[in-house]
């Protein structure tokens, strides 16, 4: 098992060196190989999460004058030396100290570190510039001075703020459109629910207008019956009660009808 791990790491190292040699042959054939550029120094390693002292600002005197060809060949040499050093240390620890974990670690880390290199991204992935428009190596095509660097820093800061503001406005516009759509849908749903729950109210007909609906006929029927009952009751009372003239008048016999008894 250890032999397979050692063989695998050796094959990966040979593959990476072959890729570096392929890129080396492409460097000299590029159109701007001899173009003069100024590249900043490598960033110093810093502690994560903002710990430790703040990184020093790069000055104009720290930039190195070179060409694309020389700078990329230098990076390829450093990458090849890193591969040979890492593989040599891992194999030495495996044979001498019987520590085989480094074989697996280097087999995974070597390809990942290789594709993080800008020269690999340029010739294998076709990347030319960063997202913010800077070159892959943060190079400048003019001789830097402190004043130019300060002005360039201000321009980059203003451009970054404008990009962030445009992105925020675009995101806010999308949220506003979504909220407007949601509000419209909610209002439509609420209106439909209210209309479905609202009771139907019938309009009352005018007094002078004849009612032709069945409900009007049914409502007028009890009123007619009550009026008829009242009329019959009044008639009955009038028939049973004696009039005032009949109380004050004494009934007298008709003339010639008096009874004088029998006269013998």
Contact 38, 138 (CB under 8 A): no
Q: Give the model's confidence band at 249: pLDDT under 50 very low, under 70 low, under 90 confident, else very high.
A: very low
Give pTM, 2 decimals: 0.60
User: In the predicted model, is pLDDT for residue 253 greater than 90?
Assistant: no
pLDDT in tens, 113-133: 998 999 999 999 888 888 767
Lowest average pLDDT, out of 145-154, 162-171, 241-250, goes to 241-250
Q: Give the model's confidence band at 139: pLDDT under 50 very low, under 70 low, under 90 confident, else very high.
A: very high
* pLDDT over 90, % of the chain: 41
Q: Give the model's confidence band at 161: pLDDT under 50 very low, under 70 low, under 90 confident, else very high.
A: confident
HEC string of the chain equals: CHHHHHHHHHHHHHHHHHHHHHHHHHHCCCCCCCCEEEECCCCCCCCHHHCCCCCCCCCHHHCEEEEHHHHHHHHHHHHHHHHHHHHHHHHHHHHHCCCCHHHHHHHHHHHHHHHHCHHHHHHHCCCCECCCCCECCCCECCCCCHHHHHHHHHHHHHHHHHHHHHHHHHHHHHHHHHHHHHHHHHHHHHHHHHHHHCCCCCCCCCCCCCCCCHHHHHHHHHHHHHHHHHHHHHHHHHHHCCCHHHHHCCCCCCCCCCCCCCCC
Q: Give the model's confidence band at 1: pLDDT under 50 very low, under 70 low, under 90 confident, else very high.
A: confident
Contact 102, 90 (CB under 8 A): yes
Q: What pLDDT does residue 175 have?
A: 56
Q: What pLDDT does residue 78 have?
A: 94
> Domain boundaries in the chain?
2-44+58-143, 145-182
Q: Give the model's confidence band at 169: pLDDT under 50 very low, under 70 low, under 90 confident, else very high.
A: confident
User: In the predicted model, is pLDDT for residue 135 greater than 90?
Assistant: no
Q: What pLDDT does residue 69 have?
A: 94
pLDDT in tens, 13-60: 999 999 999 999 999 888 889 999 999 998 877 777 778 788 788 899
Overall average pLDDT of the 135-152 stretch: 91
pLDDT in tens, 194-208: 344 444 444 444 444
Overall average pLDDT of the 225-251 stretch: 52
């Amino acid at each position: 098992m250890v032999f397979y791990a050692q063989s695998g790491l050796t094959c990966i190292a040979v593959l990476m060196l072959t890729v570096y040699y392929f890129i080396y042959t492409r460097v000299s054939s590029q159109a701007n190989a001899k173009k003069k550029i100024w590249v900043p120094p490598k960033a110093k390693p810093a502690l994560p999460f903002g710990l430790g002292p703040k990184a020093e600002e790069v000055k104009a005197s720290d930039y190195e004058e070179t060409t694309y060809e020389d700078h990329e060949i230098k990076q390829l040499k450093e990458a090849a030396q890193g591969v040979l050093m890492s593989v040599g240390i891992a194999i030495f620890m495996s044979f001498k100290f019987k520590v085989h974990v480094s074989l697996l670690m280097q087999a995974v880390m070597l390809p990942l570190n290789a594709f993080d290199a800008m020269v690999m991204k340029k010739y294998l992935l076709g990347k030319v510039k960063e997202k913010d428009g800077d070159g892959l190596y943060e190079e400048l095509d003019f001789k830097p001075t402190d004043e130019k660097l300060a002005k360039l820093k201000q321009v980059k800061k203003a451009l970054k703020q404008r990009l962030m503001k445009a992105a925020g406005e675009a995101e806010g516009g999308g949220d506003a459109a979504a909220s407007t759509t949601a509000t419209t849908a909610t209002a439509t749903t609420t209106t439909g629910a209210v209309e479905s729950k609202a009771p139907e109210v019938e309009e009352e007909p005018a007094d002078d207008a004849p009612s032709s609906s069945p409900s009007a006929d049914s409502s007028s029927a009890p009123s007619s019956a009550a009026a008829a009952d009242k009329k019959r009751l009044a008639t009955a009372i009038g028939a049973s009660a004696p009039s005032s003239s009949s109380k004050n008048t004494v009934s007298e016999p008709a003339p010639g009808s008096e009874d004088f008894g029998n006269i013998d």
